[in-house]
Amino acid sequence: MGRPAFRRSRGDGPFRFASTAAGVALLAIMAAIGVFLVVKAVPALQANTSHFLTELTWQPNATKPAFGIGALAFGTAMSSLLALIIATPVAIGVALFISHYAPRGLASVLGYIVDLLAAVPSVVYGLWGVTFLVPFVQGPWEFLNTYFGWIPLFGGDQVVGRSMLTAGLVLAIMILPIIAAISREVFLQAPKMQEEAALALGATRWEMIRMSVLPFGRPGVISAAMLGLGRAMGETIAVALIFPATFTISFRILGPNGNSIAANIANGFGEATPIGTGALIASGLVLFLITLLVNMGARFVIARRKEYARAAA
């Protein structure tokens, strides 16, 4: 920024070099993550007697290793989507509450309270989920099954607390603060003149929000939801404690099934053979690539709109 001093000092070169090198090092780390995961995944993939992308079971530790990402990828996608469906409407409500409804003086304090949700470690949500939430939701889930069982998602003969929907609920709580925080920043940047114009023309608060805040904020909310989706897919320990760790593909979200790539890594690592570890690394590579795509998509949407520059951080 700006032109430096007239004469170059001897310290300038090294300092400039060091700071540039640090930046390049970050890029190198991102590349190295991909490279080393591939390096350690390849031997396991070569030993695999089944097809990695379509196989459902996970038996990499057997003498004839057979494992595939199928059921795990399904579980990751399903639980994250459930989390997104639950969290996004609530997060938009929270963001509107803090940006347009809460009293001025209280807004920042209330925003801080929501941010605190993000400060609770993942493992604590897992402990809370498995000891409190799992027994607690048994009743409500049975209610859903009894009265809304005609919807395929809620159908099935078995209803358990440790189900896909419970994991989705815990994930929703964990990604809510990030979606709410970014949406809030975007809503706060909606053009004040438009808002005041709408109010001056006699619009109610909701009409003002619908006409000026929401259209302005839509791309921001979409990318916030995508960031939340990426976070939910990578979330490990909380769901590792909740999922029953099955290897099936089932849309019965109340039934005793559910697993995810990340949860499988946490649960399977302890007893993994070298091939087993390689298989877990291969599944981690898939997770890395998916979250990379989702995050890059989200950042691209934010970066394209200059007005959002502040929210992007």
Which residues within the stretch 85-114 sit at the binding site for another protein (CB under 8 A)?
A: 89-94, 96-98, 101-102, 110, 112-114
Of 125 and 252, which CB lies nearer to another protein in the complex structure? 125
Least distance to another protein, CB of residue 9, Å = 3
Residue from 167, 262, 275, 311 touching another protein (CB under 8 A): that is: 262
Of 43 and 256, which CB lies nearer to another protein in the complex structure? 43
With beta carbons less than 8 A apart as the criterion, state whether 115 and 215 touch.
no
Angle at CA of residue 169, ends 181 and 120, nearest 5°: 55
- C-alpha 71/C-alpha 288 separation (Å) is 17
What residues pair up with 59 in beta bridges, in sequence order? Answer: 66
- Dig out the tokens for 163 from the structure: 């189900």
Q: Which stretch binds another protein (CB under 8 A): 51-59, 185-193, 213-221, 294-302?
A: 294-302
- To the nearest 5 percent, what fractions of the chain are helix, strand and coil? 70, 0, 25
With beta carbons less than 8 A apart as the criterion, state whether 200 and 211 touch.
no
Residue from 48, 277, 308, 311 touching another protein (CB under 8 A): that is: 277
Half-sphere exposure of 262 (CA within 13 A, CB side): 24
Q: What's the burial of 182, exposed, middle or buried (CB within 10 Å: 0-12/13-18/19+)?
A: buried
Of 148 and 269, which CB lies nearer to another protein in the complex structure? 269
C-alpha radius of gyration, the chain, whole number: 24
Least distance to another protein, CB of residue 195, Å = 15
CA 276 to chain centre: 26
State yes or no: residue 77 binds another protein (CB under 8 A). no
Q: Which stretch binds another protein (CB under 8 A): 151-159, 193-201, 214-222, 225-233?
A: 225-233
Which residues within the stretch 156-215 sit at the binding site for another protein (CB under 8 A)?
A: 173, 176, 180, 202, 204-207, 209
Q: Please give the size of the binding site for another protein, defined by CB under 8 A.
A: 99
98 contact partners, CB below 8 Å, separation of at least 6: 107, 110, 111, 114, 180, 184
Residue from 231, 247, 252, 268 touching another protein (CB under 8 A): that is: 231
- C-alpha 103/C-alpha 116 separation (Å) is 20
Residue from 188, 246, 288, 305 touching another protein (CB under 8 A): that is: 288
Least distance to another protein, CB of residue 82, Å = 16
Which residues within the stretch 17-46 sit at the binding site for another protein (CB under 8 A)?
A: 18-27, 29-30, 32-33, 36-37, 39-40
Least distance to another protein, CB of residue 262, Å = 5
Per-residue interface string for the shown chain with another protein, residues 114-143, x marking contact by CB under 8 A: x-xx-xxxxxxxxxx-xxx-----------
Least distance to another protein, CB of residue 284, Å = 4
State yes or no: residue 16 binds another protein (CB under 8 A). yes
Q: Which stretch binds another protein (CB under 8 A): 45-53, 84-92, 158-166, 249-257?
A: 84-92
Angle, in degrees to the nearest 10, between helices 274-304 and 70-96: 30
What residues pair up with 288 in beta bridges, in sequence order? Answer: none
Of 93 and 215, which CB lies nearer to another protein in the complex structure? 93
Helix (H, G, I), strand (E, B) or coil at 215: helix
State yes or no: residue 49 binds another protein (CB under 8 A). no
